[in-house]
């Protein structure tokens, strides 16, 4: 069911990855020997019940958290072999992360938030691409507003645009459409699909929504910190069916 030998040169991979919180009686295995890879230019959805380890897996793959056992790779680079400075550079240049809670900077405008990773990295903004991203998330008329002046959905769209702006090697998105109405959600998913199809972007997205998962090329199911199933070219019906079987 799960591949035993991941392609370590995939855009991202985990090899026998375990993350254990606490000790003895209070021990929680958030990840329990996970081996999985995410091919370049693919859109993958990660699904599973609450507490199954989805966020932990993405945080560890993105270098935002460290494993207890095992290894994670970004584009073939073993993250455990990097020092703090190298990890910071890799995260900034190769990884985009869309957090569940947006994580926007309150004192910056929407546009400043979107270009922040580029500004921090001293990278010139690709204006044509930036315009395409901004128009895809329909933020043209909101660029000078601060997060407090934006709705939840608009803040989420800023967070999505920020991740896409630098065209990172891989984007991790933790329930990017969870706070959006279905129409705004569909627009963001369609744009993510476009970025994968037409620009070769790699995206890994956590979602609870079978309709959102059906935008992906592949769905990986987690339960109790393990990969328990996967589906290629999913339809929302197939995803729902698997979710029922897995009791999630």
The answer to whether residue 55 forms part of the interface with ligand ADP (CB under 6 A) is: yes
What are 230's two structure tokens? 């996967």
Do 16 and 57 meet the contact criterion of CB atoms below 8 Å apart? no
Q: Of 49 and 153, which CB lies nearer to ligand ADP in the complex structure?
A: 49
Do 172 and 202 meet the contact criterion of CB atoms below 8 Å apart? no
Q: Of 90 and 173, which CB lies nearer to Mg ion in the complex structure?
A: 173
Sign of CA dihedral 162, 164, 166, 168: positive
Residue 245, CB-side half-sphere exposure with 13 Å CA sphere:
11
Q: Of 28 and 89, which CB lies nearer to ligand ADP in the complex structure?
A: 28
The answer to whether residue 50 forms part of the interface with ligand ADP (CB under 6 A) is: yes
Closest distance to ligand ADP from the beta carbon of 169 (Å)? 23
Tell me the C-alpha distance between 169 and 200, whole Å.
Answer: 9
Q: Of 64 and 108, which CB lies nearer to ligand ADP in the complex structure?
A: 64
Closest distance to ligand ADP from the beta carbon of 79 (Å)? 18
Residue with the CB atom nearest Mg ion in the bound state: 55
Residue 22 dihedral angles phi and psi, to the nearest 5° = 70, 180
Among 56, 113, 115, 177, binds ligand ADP (CB under 6 A): 56
Residues of this chain, 183-212, that bind ligand ADP according to CB under 6 A: none
Stretch near ligand ADP under the rule CB under 6 A, chosen from 43-51, 78-86, 179-187, 234-242: 43-51
Among 7, 40, 51, 186, binds ligand ADP (CB under 6 A): 51
Closest distance to ligand ADP from the beta carbon of 38 (Å)? 17
Tell me the C-alpha distance between 69 and 159, whole Å.
Answer: 31
Stretch near ligand ADP under the rule CB under 6 A, chosen from 53-61, 71-79, 139-147, 189-197: 53-61
Residue 199 binds what, of Mg ion, ligand ADP, none (CB under 5 to 8 Å, by partner type)?
none
> Can you give the binding site for Mg ion, defined by CB under 5 A?
55
The torsion defined by the Cα of 247, 44, 52 and 239, in degrees rounded to 10, comes to -10
Q: Determine the length of the chain.
A: 248
Start-to-end CA distance of the chain, whole Å, equals 18
Q: Which residues touch 132 (CB under 8 Å, ≥6 apart)?
A: none
Tell me the C-alpha distance between 186 and 119, whole Å.
Answer: 29
Q: Of 171 and 223, which CB lies nearer to ligand ADP in the complex structure?
A: 223
Residues of this chain, 11-40, that bind ligand ADP according to CB under 6 A: 21, 28, 30
Q: Of 42 and 55, which CB lies nearer to Mg ion in the complex structure?
A: 55
Nearest to 147 by CA among 118, 182, 170, 116: 116
Interface residues with ligand ADP (CB under 6 A)?
21, 28, 30, 48, 50-56
């Amino acid at each position: 069911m799960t591949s035993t030998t991941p392609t370590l040169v995939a855009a991202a991979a985990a090899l026998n990855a375990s993350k254990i919180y606490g000790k003895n009686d209070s021990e929680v295995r958030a990840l329990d020997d996970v081996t999985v890879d995410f091919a370049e230019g693919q859109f993958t959805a990660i699904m599973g019940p609450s507490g199954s380890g989805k966020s932990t897996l993405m945080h560890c793959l993105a270098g935002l958290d460290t494993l207890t056992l095992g290894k994670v790779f970004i584009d073939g680079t073993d993250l455990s072999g990097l020092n703090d400075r190298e990890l910071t550079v890799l995260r900034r240049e190769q990884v985009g992360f869309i957090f569940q809670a947006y994580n926007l900077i309150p004192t910056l405008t929407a546009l400043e938030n979107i270009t922040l990773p580029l500004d921090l990295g001293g990278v010139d903004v690709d204006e044509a691409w930036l315009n395409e991203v901004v128009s895809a998330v329909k933020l043209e008329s909101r660029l000078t507003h601060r997060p407090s002046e934006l709705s939840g959905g608009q803040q989420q769209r800023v967070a999505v645009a920020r991740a896409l702006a630098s065209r990172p090697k891989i984007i991790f998105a933790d329930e990017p459409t969870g706070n959006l109405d279905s129409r705004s959600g569909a627009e963001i998913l369609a744009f993510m699909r476009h970025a994968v199809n037409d620009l070769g972007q790699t995206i890994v997205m956590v979602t609870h929504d079978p309709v959102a998962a059906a935008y992906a090329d592949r769905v990986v199911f987690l339960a109790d910190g393990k990969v328990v199933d996967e589906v290629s070219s999913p339809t929302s019906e197939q995803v729902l069916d698997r979710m029922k079987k897995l009791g999630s």
